[in-house]
Structure 1
Amino acid sequence: MDTQHDIALPHALAAIPGPVPPSGVLHAVIPHTSRFTVVGNHLAQHAELSLVAIGIGVHIQSLPAGSKVGIKALAARFPEGEVKIACALRELEAHGYLHRTRVRLPKGRVATRTVFCNQPGAALRGGMVPVVGPAVRSTAPAPTLVREHIRVPEPTPVAVPEPTAVPEPTPVPEPTAVPEPRPVPEAVPVPKPVPVPEAPHAPVRLPSRTAPTQPRRPLPHPHALTPELRQASSAFLADLRRHAEELVLSEQDVEELMPGVAAWLERDATTDAIRRALTADLPQPLKHPARLVRHRLTALLPPPLPGAHDLASPRRAPVTPFQTCDGCERAFRSHDPGHCRDCRARYGEAA
C-alpha cells in the first residue's frame, strides 16, 4: 500500500489512437492553445541539414519580425559557439530557408537584410507571401481560412424562338423565363494573427573588442619662441630629407612642427640627437611623414637638464654630540659639558 504507482503514463498510452507500436517513440499529442509555431516536416525531418541547423531554423521561425538573428545574437542566446552557428546558417542559406542580402540605407550605411522562408519550394514556384509581424502564432486554435477568387458566372444567352405563323393577324410570342443571377458569396475575411507578448529577456551586452581611443598629446612648445629658435627649427625640419628621403615635409608641416623642435633645442638637445630620434627605424612604407615627426617630437621629448644646485649632494643636518653628566654620569646630548636636565633641576631647587 505504501508503493506509489504512476497512472499518468497508462492513461496517456490509452489516449493514443490506433495500435501502439512495440518499440520506438510514442506521441502524446495535446493540442496547443497559445504560443505555438507551425513547422513543416520538410525542415524538422530534413535529410541533409544538421541537427544544429534544424534547431536554429525552428528557433528563427518562432521569433517575431525584427528580432536579431545574427551570429553574435544567437551565440549570446545559445551555448553553441560562433563557428558552429555560422556553419548552421550557411546550411539553411544553401537549402533556401535563409536569404541574406546587403542593402544600402538612406544615410549611406550598409546593413544585412535577413529573410527566413518557411517553405523554400513554394517560394521557388512563386507562392511566397510576405508575412508582417511574428511567425504563425495564435492564442486559440482556429480553422484555416483560404481566400479564393470566385468568378461571377456570366449570363448565358437565351435563345428566343421565332414566332410561328398563326391565323391571327397579330402574332404574340410567349414570354420566356430568364434565369435570375445567383448571389455572389462574399469573401470570408481572414482574421489577423494576434501577437503574443514575449517573455521579457534581459538585454545581452557583448563585450567591446576595441580599446578606448586615447586623446592625442599636444605638441610641445618652448617657454619663449625667439626668432633664433624659430630660424634654427625651420632649417632643421627642412634639412631632414637630406638624411631620410621619406621625411619630405611641406611648408605648412614645417610651420606646424617648428615649435616642437624649438622645445627640444630649448632643453639643450643637440641637432644630431634630434635627427637620430626622428630618423631611426622608419616604417616602410611611410605614408604620413608629418604625423610620424609630430609623434616622435611629442613622445620622445627629453626632460630639461638639471641645474648645478640639483646635482649637489644634500647637506646633512648637524648632529648634537653626547655629554656625560657630572652629577649622575648619565649621557645626554648637548654642545657644552655639564649636568643633565634632571641634575640641573635638582641643583637649582637646592640652591
Structure 2
Amino acid sequence: MDTQHDNALAHALAAIPGPVPPSGVIHIVIPHTNRFTVVGNHLAQHAGLSLVAIGIGVHIQSLPAGSEISIKTLAARFPEGEVKIASALRELEAHGYLRRTRVRLAKGRVATRTVFCNQPGAVLRGGVVPGAPGAPVVGAAVRSPAPAPALVREHLRATGPEPTLVPEPEPARVPEPARVTEPEPTLVTEPARVPEHIRVREPEPTAVAGARPAPIRLPAPTAPKQPRRPLPHPHALTPERRQAASALLADLRRHAVELVLSEEAVEELVPGVAAWLERDATTDAIRHALTADLPKPLRHPARLLRHRLTALLPPPLPGVHDLTAPRRAPVTPFQTCDGCERAFRSHEPGHCRDCRAPYGEAA
C-alpha cells in the first residue's frame, strides 16, 4: 500500500501517435513556445565530434550575441576542466563551427573575435569566412546541381509509373579539315533532361561575377553587467549613529558644493555611513573619502557616494591581542659531540647518542 503509482507517464505514452518501439528511446515531443534554440542534426549527431564538443556547441548556439565564451568562462560554468573545454573548442574549430581570429584595435591592442556558425557548410568554405581579410572573392554564381536520377525515380514512383530513362547519345565529333587553321571547338555535354512537372527550380544566384560579397558584421563586444553590490549596514543602527551619519551627509555640501543631497538620498545613505562609524572610522576620514577627487562634472552625487561607501569600506580595527607577534616554540640548539665531532640537538654540551655508552653518560 505504500508504493505510489504515477500514471502521468502511462497517459503520455498512450498519447503518442503510431506504434511504440519495443526497445530504444521513446520520444515525448511537446512543442516549445518560448526559450528554445533550433539545433541541426549535423551538430547534435556529428560523427566526428566528441560528446563534450557537441554539448559546448549547443550551449554556445543558445547564448545571445555578445556573450563571453572564453575557456575560463566555460570552465566556471561547467564541471569540465579547462583542458577538456579547450580540446572541445579546437574540435569545433576544426569542423568549421567555430572561428577565432586575433585583430588589432585602433590603439594597438589585440583582441580575439569569435564567430560561431550554426551551418558551416553554408557559410564557412574551407575554414574561411566570406568578407574576412584574406578570403577569396567569389567570381561566379553558385548553382545547385541537377537532381539525381534516384531522387527523380522516387518522386515518379510516388506520383505515377516509373518511366524508362534513355541516356542521350553524345554528339559525334566532326573531323576538322586539314586546311582550316581555327582552333578545335570544345564539346559541351548537355545535361540530362528532366520532365517539366518534376523539374526543380534553381535557386537565385548568391553572388554576381566580379562582385565582392558583403562582409559579415560581428556583434559589438558587450561585457556582462555586474550585479550591484548592496550598501553596507551596521550590526546595530543606534539613534546616536543615525544622527551622526545624517549630520555628516548633510554637511558634505560645505566641503564640496557638488555634493548637494536630497532628504531621500540622505536617508538611503545613512546605513552606509553608520557602518563606517561602527568600524571606528572618524568623521574626518569618512568626509575625506567621500569628497576627495570628485569627477568634473558630477551628475549623480548620491550614486557616487553610494559607490564609495560600498567599495572603500574599511575593515574592523584589530584588537590588542591581534597585533602581538605570535610566540615561537622553543628550539633545541645544536651541540658538537666531544667524541666523534658529530652535531646533535641538546641543551647542554656532551656526547651524542652513540658515544654515551662508552663514556658511561646517562641519556
TM over 0.5: no
Q: Whose radius of gyration is greater, 1 or 2?
A: 1
Relative to the length of structure 1, the TM-score reads: 0.40
Relative to the length of structure 2, the TM-score reads: 0.39
